[in-house]
């Protein structure tokens, strides 16, 4: 009788205490968050967590955080619980703008879906290759999170000025200033050259386009998403290439080859240079033909018929006439089309392109 009485009193009290504890936790999390929480996929967060640079992953671990310079203060909790908003989506990943608690207000987090991600060991090997890469014209990788269900999360800094694509689409006057075009072009090539030649093994971007070129406030370009295909499984990596083809950036030899190369990056660079000159939305409306010249449809006639004057925006033509830079403008166009040569062996490399651009910009 006494035992039954104690149970009758004790259990309701415990239930109330548990309910109060849950309510406190929920309210505290809402106060910290202030927005949507990034996808968290469970797992034993603490005891399997590894960090400290490129040596931070143990095969077979359920969860890992590999940190790189400028990401030393990041934690799994700070990344997964960061309130964020979706910036962009693709078939293989989602890009978030998120507020972190590790001394930085905003960062970009690219969440690679488990179904599209490479295996944990392959992803960490890719991170060890890509994470230490630093250059003024590259977006640095601050950390890679490997989740227990195969998800991958890359942490990058956020650039409020947006992408080169945004600059071109919004028709900002600066995008048609000759000195800005030269500055952007030289910066992009410097970043690409560092990827191709700055390490013992060349790092291929694999998906270079205006969406993947971020801008500082002073129009300093920074290439992002380099080597992202290394974090994807083969099917997802191939899908990235197909999307690039539709958008007009895919080199013609990749119709028969699956592996991207330095030369295929150069082709994409040439298309970007043409896009900056012409103010045209690139599109590859026609299916590729092995015997055809391989350029987006919007540029093809300009190259085939040598309609150089038709390639430039009216503002660039006016500037070039006023400043006596008409020859420089033509030389830039010639260099861009050389990068898009259908024969990969005839495309100039980054060193030659950079030297030529620096001459043209004078």
221 shares a domain with 142? no
Contact 134, 57 (CB under 8 A): no
352 shares a domain with 300? yes
Please check whether residue 38 lies inside any domain of the structure. Answer: no
Give pLDDT, residue 51: 34
Please check whether residue 8 lies inside any domain of the structure. Answer: no
221 shares a domain with 124? no
For residues 311 and 203, what is the distance between their CA atoms, to the nearest angstrom? 32
- Of 157, 178, 198, the position where a domain reaches its end is 157
- For 255-287, the DSSP string reads GT--S--HHHHHHHHHHHHHHHHH-PPP---SP
169 shares a domain with 143? no
354 shares a domain with 229? yes
Structure tokens at 330: 């033509």
**Class of residue 125 by CB neighbours under 10 A (exposed 0-12, middle 13-18, buried 19+):** middle
271 shares a domain with 233? yes
246 shares a domain with 132? no
Nearest to 95 by CA among 70, 120, 112, 79: 112
**Class of residue 346 by CB neighbours under 10 A (exposed 0-12, middle 13-18, buried 19+):** exposed
Please check whether residue 27 lies inside any domain of the structure. Answer: no
Give pLDDT, residue 302: 58
Dihedral of CA atoms 351, 353, 355, 361 in degrees, nearest 10, equals -150
Domain range enclosing 140: 53-157
For residues 214 and 164, what is the distance between their CA atoms, to the nearest angstrom? 6
pLDDT tens string, the chain, 362 residues long: the values are 555 544 555 555 555 555 555 444 434 443 443 444 445 443 333 323 333 333 344 444 567 899 998 888 888 888 888 888 888 888 888 888 888 765 565 678 788 888 888 888 888 888 888 999 999 999 999 999 988 888 888 999 989 888 999 998 886 677 788 899 999 999 999 999 999 999 888 999 999 999 999 999 889 999 999 988 888 888 888 888 777 766 778 888 887 767 889 999 999 999 999 888 876 555 544 444 433 344 555 565 555 555 555 666 667 777 777 787 888 888 998 899 899 888 999 999 999 999 999 999 98
CA of residue 315 relative to chain centroid, distance = 30
DSSP 3-state of 138: strand
Q: What is the CATH classification number for the domain harbouring 230?
A: 1.10.510.10
**Class of residue 174 by CB neighbours under 10 A (exposed 0-12, middle 13-18, buried 19+):** exposed
Please check whether residue 301 lies inside any domain of the structure. Answer: yes
For residues 39 and 80, what is the distance between their CA atoms, to the nearest angstrom? 7
Please check whether residue 332 lies inside any domain of the structure. Answer: yes
Phi then psi dihedrals of residue 197, to 5 deg: -130, -5
Nearest to 177 by CA among 146, 140, 219: 219
Question: Could you identify the residue written with the tokens 């269900």?
Answer: 149
Please check whether residue 355 lies inside any domain of the structure. Answer: yes
Please check whether residue 23 lies inside any domain of the structure. Answer: no
Contact 240, 92 (CB under 8 A): yes
**Class of residue 189 by CB neighbours under 10 A (exposed 0-12, middle 13-18, buried 19+):** buried
- Of 157, 172, 190, the position where a domain reaches its end is 157
Nearest to 352 by CA among 252, 263, 259: 263
Neighbours of 8 (CB within 10 A): 9
121 shares a domain with 238? no
257 shares a domain with 228? yes
Sheet-wide strand order for 64-67: 64-67, 143-146, 152-157, 107-112, 93-98, 84-89
For residues 10 and 293, what is the distance between their CA atoms, to the nearest angstrom? 82
Work out how many domains the chain is built from and give that number. 2
User: Which DSSP letter does residue 114 get?
Assistant: T
- Of 157, 179, 206, the position where a domain reaches its end is 157
330 shares a domain with 296? yes
- Three-class secondary structure assignment of 174-208: HHHCHHHHHHHHHHHHHHHHHHHHCCCCCCCCCCC
DSSP 3-state of 305: coil
Please check whether residue 20 lies inside any domain of the structure. Answer: no
Q: Does the pTM of the predicted model rise above 0.95? A: no
Q: What is the CATH classification number for the domain harbouring 116?
A: 3.30.200.20
187 shares a domain with 116? no
72 shares a domain with 203? no
**Class of residue 241 by CB neighbours under 10 A (exposed 0-12, middle 13-18, buried 19+):** buried
């Amino acid at each position: 009788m006494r035992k039954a009485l104690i149970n009758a009193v004790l259990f309701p009290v415990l239930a109330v205490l548990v309910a109060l504890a849950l309510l406190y936790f929920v309210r505290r999390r809402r106060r910290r968050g202030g927005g949507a929480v990034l996808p968290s996929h469970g797992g034993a967060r603490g005891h399997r967590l590894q960090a400290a640079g490129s040596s931070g992953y143990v095969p077979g671990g359920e969860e890992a955080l590999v940190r790189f310079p400028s990401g030393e203060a990041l934690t799994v909790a700070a990344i997964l619980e960061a309130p964020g908003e979706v910036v962009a989506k693709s078939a293989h990943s989602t890009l978030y703008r998120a507020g972190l608690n590790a001394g930085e207000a905003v960062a970009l987090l690219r969440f690679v879906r488990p179904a599209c991600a490479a295996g944990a060991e392959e992803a960490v090997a890719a991170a060890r290759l890509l994470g230490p890469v630093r250059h003024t014209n590259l977006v640095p990788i601050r950390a890679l999170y490997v989740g227990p269900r195969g998800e991958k999360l890359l942490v990058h800094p956020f650039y409020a000025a947006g992408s080169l694509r945004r600059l071109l689409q919004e028709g900002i006057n600066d995008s048609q200033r000759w000195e800005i075009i030269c500055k952007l072009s030289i910066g992009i090539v410097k970043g690409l050259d560092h990827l191709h030649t700055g390490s013992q093994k060349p790092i291929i971007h694999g998906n270079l386009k205006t969406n993947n070129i971020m801008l500082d406030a002073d129009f300093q370009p920074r290439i992002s998403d380099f080597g992202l295909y290394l974090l994807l499984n083969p099917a997802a990596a191939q899908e990235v290439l197909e999307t690039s083809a539709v958008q007009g950036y895919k080199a013609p030899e990749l119709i028969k080859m699956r592996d991207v190369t330095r030369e295929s990056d150069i082709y994409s660079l040439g298309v970007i240079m043409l896009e900056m000159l012409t103010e045209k939305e690139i599109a590859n409306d026609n299916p590729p033909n092995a015997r055809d010249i391989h350029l987006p449809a919007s540029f093809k006639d300009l190259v085939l018929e040598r309609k150089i004057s038709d390639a430039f925006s009216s503002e660039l033509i006016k500037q070039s006439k006023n400043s006596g830079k008409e020859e420089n403008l033509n030389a830039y166009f010639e260099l861009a089309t050389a990068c898009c040569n259908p024969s990969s062996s005839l495309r100039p490399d980054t060193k030659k392109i950079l030297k030529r651009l620096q001459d043209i910009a004078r």
